[in-house]
Amino acid sequence: MAVVFEARIKMDDLMWYIELQDMTDGRLTNCKDLEEFSKKVQEFGDDYGGNIDEVKWLKDGDVPEQAMDEIRVKMAEHRTEIEEETGQKVTPIVEEDKV
């Protein structure tokens, strides 16, 4: 069984958030920032022994480019921190949903 999470970037008024869903059991949570998102992915992943096959990234059509730029910068910073801590490269895969 593949463990797949879906991370959808959404807007609430003028703020972005990430809706995280475990596609195996249907759990759903909203994360207000990347720090909360990272913690929730780890919590969800712990139920599978930390083995996550994929995090599928999507975004709603109403998410402005400024929000996407902010998220990309924060994700790059977070990726650098992880690589420095673990000594391993992290390769992100990003897909957009044309909603």
- When pLDDT is averaged across residues 45-64 and rounded to a whole number, the result is 94
29 assigned to some structural domain: yes
- Which two structure tokens, joined as six digits, stand for 59? 């975004």
* pLDDT given for residue 94 in this prediction: 52
- When pLDDT is averaged across residues 7-32 and rounded to a whole number, the result is 96
- When pLDDT is averaged across residues 57-75 and rounded to a whole number, the result is 94
91 assigned to some structural domain: no
62 assigned to some structural domain: yes
14 assigned to some structural domain: yes
Residue 98 has pLDDT above 50, yes or no: no
* pLDDT given for residue 92 in this prediction: 55
Residue 10 in contact with residue 17, Cβ under 8 Å? yes
Report the distance separating Cα 55 and Cα 92, nearest Å: 9
95 assigned to some structural domain: no
16 assigned to some structural domain: yes
* pLDDT given for residue 97 in this prediction: 53
Count up the domains in the chain and report the number.
1
Report the distance separating Cα 32 and Cα 39, nearest Å: 12
What is the rounded average pLDDT for all residues in the chain? Answer: 89
* pLDDT given for residue 43 in this prediction: 96
Q: If we measure between CA atoms, which residue out of 53, 8, 57, 5 comes closest to residue 27?
A: 5
Its domain, for residue 22, covers: 4-86
37 assigned to some structural domain: yes
